[in-house]
């Protein structure tokens, strides 16, 4: 039975078995497990669907996540990576700290939350990167919903800020706009025209945020399925944003009241993600 799927931005499209299979394989499931999960989801959803019903991508995700979690938690954690980054909210500060760690892994020096004087006014810059004598000013736009996209006005704002910083003496520097969701097509077109670097979950092809995270194995602590929402928030408030940081500061779990078998399960899952 065929059915439509509503994406986070409201666009509807036919359900594609291949897309779901690909996402499961990318999370580390083998072909047999991926086929089994896809078949089970199709059977479960088709049984309760009417001819004109429309599913959401979240419903499909929830079914797949639950099945992966029952088999092997690290697989579920990798499958939920996009939503794990969403859990950095509601403020964008954990996202900025996470990005800085990602850039450090790529050989940059990174400083967060910097106040810099431009030609006309002072600017609060989310992340300042230096590498090879080049300074990059990063504007991090965090969204806590997949439905939101960073649009043209955000790109215009970053471009204007860069011009004022250059006027203030930061010659030879460049700007970068990063978001955890997507950019509108107009924003991408403008940025390419103005040589403004962009980074989002799915852009640029070959070096997307998703791909960089997977390549670096820098999984966010919010991806750990053994943690509750409250426990994740407590770790973020303690500036623990990476699974690897938690492994090096495992004692913090006891201060949060997490001990015994649960603490062991959390650390085991974090270790499996770091070595995936």
Query: Are 225 and 190 in a shared domain?
Result: no
Q: β-pairing, 149-150 with 4-6?
A: unpaired
| Structural domain contains residue 134 | yes
Query: Are 52 and 98 in a shared domain?
Result: no
| Structural domain contains residue 267 | yes
Arithmetic mean of pLDDT over the chain:
92
Residue 269 has pLDDT above 90, yes or no: yes
Query: Are 130 and 202 in a shared domain?
Result: yes
pTM over 0.75: yes
Task: Determine the 3-state secondary structure of 269 from DSSP.
Answer: helix
Span 164-185, pLDDT tens digits? 999 999 999 999 999 999 999 9
- Average the pLDDT over 19-43 and give the result: 91
Q: Which of 33-37, 89-93, 228-232, 266-270 has the lowest mean pLDDT?
A: 89-93
| Structural domain contains residue 86 | no
User: Would you state the pLDDT for residue 57?
Assistant: 87
| Structural domain contains residue 77 | no
Residue 250 has pLDDT above 70, yes or no: yes
Query: Are 196 and 102 in a shared domain?
Result: yes
Query: Are 133 and 57 in a shared domain?
Result: no
Query: Are 268 and 256 in a shared domain?
Result: yes
Query: Are 204 and 146 in a shared domain?
Result: yes
Q: Residue 234 and residue 225: Cα distance in Å, rounded?
A: 15
Query: Are 8 and 43 in a shared domain?
Result: yes
Task: Determine the 3-state secondary structure of 121 from DSSP.
Answer: coil
Q: Residue 243 and residue 221: Cα distance in Å, rounded?
A: 5
Let me know: does 186 contact 151? Beta carbons within 8 Å. Answer: yes
Who contacts 247 (Cβ-Cβ below 8 Å, separation ≥6)? 267, 270, 271, 274
Query: Are 211 and 225 in a shared domain?
Result: no
Q: Residue 151 and residue 15: Cα distance in Å, rounded?
A: 27
User: Would you state the pLDDT for residue 2?
Assistant: 64
Radius of gyration of the chain (CA): 21
Let me know: does 142 contact 98? Beta carbons within 8 Å. Answer: no
| Structural domain contains residue 82 | no
Query: Are 58 and 10 in a shared domain?
Result: yes
Residue-range definition of the domain harbouring residue 135:
93-216
User: Would you state the pLDDT for residue 276?
Assistant: 66
How many domains does the chain divide into? 3
Q: Which two tokens stand for residue 65?
A: 């996540």
User: DSSP states of 188-257 as a string?
Assistant: HHHHHHHT-EEEBTTBSTTS-HHHHHHHHT--BGGG-TTS-HHHHHHHHHTT--BHHHHHHTTTHHHHTT
Span 204-247, pLDDT tens digits? 999 999 999 999 999 999 999 999 999 999 999 999 999 999 99
**Confidence grade of residue 17 (pLDDT, cut at 50, 70, 90):** confident
**Confidence grade of residue 50 (pLDDT, cut at 50, 70, 90):** low
């Amino acid at each position: 039975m065929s059915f439509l799927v509503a994406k986070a931005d409201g666009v509807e499209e036919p359900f594609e078995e291949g897309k779901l299979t690909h996402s499961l394989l990318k999370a580390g499931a083998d072909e047999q497990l991926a086929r089994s999960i896809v078949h089970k989801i199709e059977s479960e959803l088709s049984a309760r669907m009417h001819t004109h019903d429309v599913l959401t991508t979240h419903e499909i995700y929830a079914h797949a996540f639950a099945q992966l979690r029952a088999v092997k938690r690290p697989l579920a954690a990798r499958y939920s990576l996009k939503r794990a980054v969403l859990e950095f909210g509601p403020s964008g500060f954990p996202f900025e700290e996470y990005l800085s760690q990602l850039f450090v892994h790529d050989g940059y020096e990174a400083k967060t939350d910097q106040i810099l004087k431009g030609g006309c006014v002072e600017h609060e810059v989310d992340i300042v990167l230096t590498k090879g004598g080049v300074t990059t000013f990063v504007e991090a736009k965090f969204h806590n919903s997949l439905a939101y996209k960073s649009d043209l006005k955000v790109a215009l704002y970053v471009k204007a800020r860069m011009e004022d910083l250059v006027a203030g003496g930061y010659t030879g520097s460049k700007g970068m706009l990063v978001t955890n969701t997507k950019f509108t097509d107009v924003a991408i077109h403008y940025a390419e025209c103005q040589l403004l670097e962009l980074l989002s979950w799915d852009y640029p092809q070959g070096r997307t945020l998703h791909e960089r995270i997977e390549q670096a194995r820098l999984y966010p602590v919010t991806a750990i399925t053994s943690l509750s929402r409250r426990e994740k928030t407590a770790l973020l408030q303690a500036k623990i944003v990476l699974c690897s940081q938690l492994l090096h500061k495992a004692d913090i779990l006891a201060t949060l009241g997490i001990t015994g078998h649960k603490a062991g399960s959390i650390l085991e899952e974090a270790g499996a993600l770091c070595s995936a």
